[in-house]
Amino acid sequence: MSKEVFSQISPSEFFYRNRDLAGFSNPTRSLYTSVREFVENALDACDHRKILPDIHLSIKAVNPEQADPKHYILTVKDNGPGIDPEHIPLAFGTVLYGSKFGLKQARGMFGLGATMAILYGQITTNKPVTVKSCSDGKSLDEFVMLLDIQKNKPVIQKHTTKEGSKTGLTVSIVLEGDYSKAGSKIRDYVYQTSLITPYASITFEDPAGEKFHYARIVKDMPRPPTVIKPHPHGIDVETIRRMITDTHYQIPAIDNKMIDKVKKELSLKKNLSPKEILERAQKRWSDISKPVRTVISVMSFLNIGFEGLQKIRIDDIDVANKTITYWDFGESQSHAVELNPESPYYKQLASTVQGDTLLTFLTKRFQRVGPTTAEKFCEFAKFKPDKRIGSMTNEELVKLADALQKFEEFLSPDPSCLAPLGEEPLSKGIMKFFNPEFAAVWQRNASAYSGFPFVVEMGIAYGGDIPPNGLKVYRFANRIPLLYDEGSDVVLKIVNETEWTRYKIKGDPPLVIVSHICSTRIPYKTVGKENVADRPEIERELKNALQYLARKLAVHMSRQGAADMAKKRANLYSKYVPLIAQFATELAGKKKEPNYNQLIRMGSEIEEQV
Amino acid sequence: MRLKNKSNAKTAETRKKRLLSMLEQQGLSIYENLDKGKFPQFVIPSRSVSNIVYDKKIRQYILGSASAVRSSRNMSQLRSYTQLAWLAFFVNRLVREGKSSTLRDIYYSSQAFSIDFEDQPESDNIIVDLEAVLTSPREEFHIFPEERSSVFGDLTIEYTVPGYEGKRMNLSDHPDGYLIGPSLSSAELVDTSAELVIAIEKGGLFTRFVEEKVHKKFKAIIVDTAGQAPRSTRNLLRRLNNEMGLPVVILADGDVYGEHIAMVIKSGSANAAHLRELTVPDAKWLGVWATDIEKYKLPTIPMTESDIKRIYDLQKDPRYQEGNWKKQLEVFLKLKRKAELEAFSKYGLTNITDKYLPAKLEESKSF
């Protein structure tokens, strides 16, 4: 047999192997990605605490004389909640330290991308990251630190604490970048981010010292998203399995640590008999935690105290078949004890997940599933409603997951976890950015694809300050501008499939479309997260939104057209009728010209016959 | 000496009066409409292909009964309506003051009156519109094309143009011939000793005919059509035929285009279907026929593809459905070769006048 050599790879090696996926493939892309990660983290932090964001971004060359690619100092400062000093080293000094989980819309997975940027900076320039944070409005902590790549641990070089006055976070890294190539994308990014975040004030100072300032346009924050339970359509077998073994509901492992916890919650100083323990527990039942209640329930059925508990190993609690199986170390043999379903302790065990019936599992653990729907589903899936979820075999779980996908009577996903911008802020942003002659916005109702809720909001703007260079589409997903891979995006597909002449739009119109898709999971086509795949549900929503707006535009265009036509008529008749009169007067041999004013007026007023 | 047939003729003066009266009527109609707050309009006989029909009785293309209204009420027609009104106004001035103009001159003159023609084809088109409205050729409006053809022979004319009124002139005094221009077109034909009019397609042969004294030998007035005969030339041919009672014969190249030059002189063109008095229905096509090519053993050149296509086109024309016209087309198609009038020089420079012309004139008596 040959020996296989296993070697652990460090996060830095992992990073190197995966940097293309993370957006750090070259100095140009890396600079752009780093800007994105820090700006998006800053906006997310402010959104989370309902603080109107005030973001300052600056990029400075370390040595401006040098040619690109060269070292740049990238600094992003926000007015968010800051981070507790104790968490800073971990948050910024280790790879894969995250703090955001749960199902809700966010720009990015917090921490991950930012740490990638820090790591990229350190690898390319060997310079530390500087983090300044004030989380209480009183003290400002400044950390200068490197990442110990081998140990995945922060190495703090300097830590100072000063007096601070405002909360906020400033992160500054040195990295190799190519601003001459990345500049236009970064400027686009800042511009478009300001458009979709009209409640933020964003300032960007480029390496030449030029400042791009986007003032706050609206003062109201959009409603923040809430964390919600999953929708039945959005899960697979693996997710169900994880839900079942979720620590919070699991029957706890009974070890010394657990026994100490039980003793502490019951305030037990000395050893009591099993009966006395149960009596004490009854008195304090409402104060003790769920895992402890479960342990006490087990003790009640086995009729043992703590000492006994230490001598056995619980092998299986089969709530469905009403038996507990345990291994007795002393006797070196297995025992099975029957559970009395009349006992209140049985109920306790039954309320853990293994004990949940399918019906309860469905109504408690999923969003928008009531008892009626759950029963209908059980019938559809050919499961008994009181089937214990814990007793399901692998095949049954696969069948369950399958049925959950196929059942069509679940309500559509709860969109409260989504945070669209809203029609008014979007409209104000569009008016301010483009100063158009006509604009309309529409936020569609929430819809879902594969159990993931999503909302499409769209705006259209025509004329005014928009240059007549043809149609321009601004794409956003979860308030992030999508700048790359435009051609293969579903929004572009819908726009290009539209017959614009039907909406009285011809040639190279001064036309802007702003499209924003919000979802707990945007179906990106590629890991680069720059283009959205054409899911039929999303395509349909986009199409409806665009058609609605295009019709509004068409109404405007025909009104405009009618007004233009009336003006043109008036001009034409004022020009030609006097000429005709002049010619006719001479032809007819008259001296005085006819009174033609009435005709000019009539000519201007005639409705064009269609 | 042949004298003018007064009963048959419309003198220049009566034609002028008729035209001025029609212009005044149009002017009055527009004037009254404007005064009453009504939108004035012109009724223009339609010149679309579907409205052009061949009239066998008068042996020319004429317009059918369809007509179009050009109304100042319709915004998209307002501009061309005004252009037409201006042209009527301008023609009225030209005719009243006895001034002449050309197609190109009309295009440029419009600018002084804020009438904006985009290009000359647009103004040419408006002129044709007015011809249709007033059923008079543009020559009566004193508007002439740039192209000129010539006439030579014993014909006395009397000018009517201002400054020359009553002055007479004989058209055999100058061997280069006389341009058929505005003054000649508007002149009265007084008398002639000629018994025949020979229309010839080419300037070179026209000169040769004068040198060879064809006008004397054949008692002929010679007209150079310079290719397809312009309207003023066709009008003169008609008047020579009509007013002076002279038969008209035509000599053209031995190809399909030559044959059609003869046909247009005889029975007009589709382009001028809205006009009368441009045709000479009794004119005779002397040659060069397709059959002459073989008969006189003329040197030939091969036909091009467009020549052949033209034959097929003409075979659909109602006037080519019978007789010699039909036969010659068929022979041309069979030969797929053509001969020019100059081809006779192979047998000597005077061969055409000494041999061919007398032979064909003799032959023409029988058709």
Res. B59: pLDDT tops 90: no
* Residues present in chain B in total: 367
What does the pLDDT look like over A44-83, one tens digit per residue? 888 888 899 999 999 999 999 999 899 999 999 999 988 8
Res. A270: pLDDT tops 50: yes
Mean residue pLDDT of chain A comes to 84
* Chain-chain contact of A576 with B39 (C-beta, under 8 angstroms): no
Query: Is B40 at the interface with chain A, CB within 8 A?
Result: yes
Residue A567 lies in a domain: yes
Domain co-membership, A521 together with A589: no
Question: Span B237-259, mean pLDDT?
Answer: 93
Using CB atoms, which residue from B30, B37, B39 is nearest to A584?
B30
Is residue B108 part of the annotated active site? The answer reads: yes
Res. A138: pLDDT tops 80: yes
For residue A539, the distance in angstroms to the closest alpha carbon of chain B comes to 43
Sign of the CA dihedral A323, A324, A327, A328? negative
What does the pLDDT look like over A16-42, one tens digit per residue? 667 776 778 899 999 999 999 899 889
A residues 288-317 closer than 8 Å to B (CB): none
Task: Show me where the domains of chain B are located.
Answer: 2-144, 192-364
3-state helix, strand, coil in chain A (%, to 5): 45, 20, 35
Domain co-membership, A546 together with A586: no
For residue B119, the distance in angstroms to the closest alpha carbon of chain A comes to 19
pTM for the full model? 0.56
pLDDT number for residue A181 = 94
Question: Span A339-360, mean pLDDT?
Answer: 75
Tell me the pairing of strands B220-224 and B150-152.
antiparallel
Residue in A with minimal Cα distance to B32:
A594
Mean residue pLDDT of chain B comes to 88
Q: List b or e across B320-359, with b for residues whose CB sees 16 or more CB atoms inside 10 angstroms.
A: beeeebeebbeebbebebbbbbbbbeebeeeebbeebbee
Question: Span B6-13, mean pLDDT?
Answer: 54
pLDDT number for residue A214 = 95
Domain co-membership, A168 together with A27: yes
Sign of the CA dihedral A363, A366, A370, A374? negative
The SS3 of residue A322 is coil
B26 CB neighbours in chain A (<8 A) are 587
Res. B8: pLDDT tops 70: no
Query: Is B89 at the interface with chain A, CB within 8 A?
Result: yes
Domain that holds residue A568: 558-605
A610 CB neighbours in chain B (<8 A) are none
The larger pLDDT score, comparing residue B165 to residue B6, is at: B165
What does the pLDDT look like over A579-608, one tens digit per residue? 999 999 999 999 999 999 888 888 877 654
Phi, psi of A532 (to 5 degrees): -95, 135
Instruction: Give me the helices (H) in A335-469, please.
Output: 344-350, 358-365, 371-381, 394-406, 423-434
Proportion of chain B above pLDDT 70, given as a percent: 96
For residue A561, the distance in angstroms to the closest alpha carbon of chain B comes to 15
pLDDT number for residue A198 = 94
Using CB atoms, which residue from A579, A585, A595 is nearest to B114?
A579
Q: Which of A198, A214, A230 is the last residue of a domain?
A: A214
* Chain-chain contact of A572 with B92 (C-beta, under 8 angstroms): no
* Chain-chain contact of A587 with B24 (C-beta, under 8 angstroms): yes
Res. A99: pLDDT tops 60: no
Residue A517 lies in a domain: yes
Domain co-membership, A90 together with A62: yes
Query: Is A484 at the interface with chain B, CB within 8 A?
Result: no
Q: Which of A214, A237, A261 is the last residue of a domain?
A: A214
Catalytic residue among B31, B108, B164, B347: B108
Cα gap B23→B11, rounded to integer Å: 19
Query: Which CATH number does the domain housing residue A168 bear?
Result: 3.30.565.10
Cα gap A600→A574, rounded to integer Å: 6
Residue A373 lies in a domain: no
Res. B256: pLDDT tops 60: yes
At position A336, the amino acid (one-letter code) is A
Pick from A441, A422, A442: nearest CA to A222:
A422
Domain co-membership, A270 together with A192: no
Q: Which residues pair with B144 in a beta bridge?
A: B102
Residue A221 lies in a domain: no
Instruction: Give the CA count within 13 Å in the CB-facing half-sphere of A20.
Output: 2
* Chain-chain contact of B37 with A589 (C-beta, under 8 angstroms): no
Residue A409 lies in a domain: no
Tokens of B9: 């003729």
Question: Span B253-270, mean pLDDT?
Answer: 91
Domain co-membership, A109 together with A122: yes
For residue B82, the distance in angstroms to the closest alpha carbon of chain A comes to 6
Query: Is B66 at the interface with chain A, CB within 8 A?
Result: no
Domain co-membership, A548 together with A596: no
* Chain-chain contact of B89 with A583 (C-beta, under 8 angstroms): yes
Res. B152: pLDDT tops 90: yes
Complex-level ipTM: 0.71
Question: How sure is the predictor about B7, in pLDDT bands with cuts at 50, 70 and 90?
Answer: very low
Query: Is A569 at the interface with chain B, CB within 8 A?
Result: yes
A562 CB neighbours in chain B (<8 A) are none
* Chain-chain contact of B89 with A586 (C-beta, under 8 angstroms): yes
Residue A332 lies in a domain: yes
Domain B192-364 coded CATH 3.40.1360.10: yes
pLDDT number for residue B283 = 93
Instruction: Spell out the residues 6+ positions from residue B119 whose beta carbon is closer than 8 angstroms to its own.
Output: B107
Cα gap A121→A581, rounded to integer Å: 82
Alpha carbon separation from A526 to A7, A267, A529 (Å, rounded): 30, 56, 6
Res. B177: pLDDT tops 60: yes
Domain co-membership, A569 together with A526: no
pLDDT number for residue B114 = 84
Proportion of chain A above pLDDT 90, given as a percent: 37
For residue A560, the distance in angstroms to the closest alpha carbon of chain B comes to 18
Cα gap B83→A306, rounded to integer Å: 114
Q: Which of A190, A214, A238 is the last residue of a domain?
A: A214
Cβ atoms of residues A298 and A254 within 8 Å: yes
Cα gap B289→B324, rounded to integer Å: 9
A594 CB neighbours in chain B (<8 A) are 31-32, 34-35
Question: How sure is the predictor about A475, in pLDDT bands with cuts at 50, 70 and 90?
Answer: very high
Cβ atoms of residues B241 and B275 within 8 Å: no
pLDDT number for residue B49 = 74
* Chain-chain contact of A603 with B78 (C-beta, under 8 angstroms): yes
Res. B268: pLDDT tops 50: yes
| Cross-sheet strand order for the sheet of B150-152 | B178-179, B150-152, B220-224, B196-200, B248-251, B284-287
Comparing A234-248, A267-281, B70-84, B240-254, the range with the smallest average pLDDT is A234-248
3-state helix, strand, coil in chain B (%, to 5): 50, 20, 35
A residues 574-603 closer than 8 Å to B (CB): 575-577, 579-590, 594-596, 598-599, 602-603
Cα gap A452→A140, rounded to integer Å: 41
Question: How sure is the predictor about B104, in pLDDT bands with cuts at 50, 70 and 90?
Answer: confident
A584 CB neighbours in chain B (<8 A) are 27, 30-31, 34, 40, 85, 89
How many CB atoms neighbour CB A436 within 10 A?
A: 20
Which CATH number is B2-144's, of 1.10.760.10, 3.40.50.1100, 3.30.700.30, 1.10.10.10?
1.10.10.10
Q: List b or e across A363-373, with b for residues whose CB sees 16 or more CB atoms inside 10 angstroms.
A: bebbbebeeeb
* Chain-chain contact of B26 with A587 (C-beta, under 8 angstroms): yes
Question: How sure is the predictor about A610, in pLDDT bands with cuts at 50, 70 and 90?
Answer: very low
What does the pLDDT look like over A103-125, one tens digit per residue? 455 565 445 678 788 888 988 99
Proportion of chain A above pLDDT 70, given as a percent: 89
What does the pLDDT look like over A413-422, one tens digit per residue? 777 778 888 9
Res. A561: pLDDT tops 80: yes
Domain co-membership, A186 together with A124: yes
Query: Is B31 at the interface with chain A, CB within 8 A?
Result: yes
Number of domain units in chain A: 4
pLDDT number for residue A1 = 38
Cα gap B340→A156, rounded to integer Å: 106
* Chain-chain contact of A586 with B34 (C-beta, under 8 angstroms): no
Domain co-membership, A82 together with A148: yes
Question: Span A486-492, mean pLDDT?
Answer: 84
* Chain-chain contact of B78 with A583 (C-beta, under 8 angstroms): no
Residue A424 lies in a domain: yes
The SS3 of residue A411 is coil
The larger pLDDT score, comparing residue B8 to residue B300, is at: B300
Cα gap B210→B225, rounded to integer Å: 15
Choose the most confident range, by mean pLDDT, from A183-192, A239-248, A290-299, A503-512. Answer: A183-192
Residue A410 lies in a domain: no
pLDDT number for residue A570 = 87
* Chain-chain contact of B34 with A580 (C-beta, under 8 angstroms): yes
> Which of B24, B26, B28, B34 is the best residue to mutate to test the A interface, defined by the most A CB atoms within 10 Å of its own CB?
B34
Domain co-membership, A550 together with A448: yes
Cβ atoms of residues A125 and A174 within 8 Å: yes
Question: How sure is the predictor about A524, in pLDDT bands with cuts at 50, 70 and 90?
Answer: confident
Alpha carbon separation from A365 to A52, A231, A291, A361, B346 (Å, rounded): 34, 9, 19, 6, 112
Res. A208: pLDDT tops 70: yes
Tokens 């620590």 sit at which residue? A247
* Chain-chain contact of B34 with A588 (C-beta, under 8 angstroms): no
B residues 101-160 closer than 8 Å to A (CB): 113-115
Cα gap A315→A301, rounded to integer Å: 14
Question: Span A490-516, mean pLDDT?
Answer: 91
What does the pLDDT look like over B277-322, one tens digit per residue? 789 999 999 989 999 998 999 888 899 888 899 999 899 888 898 8
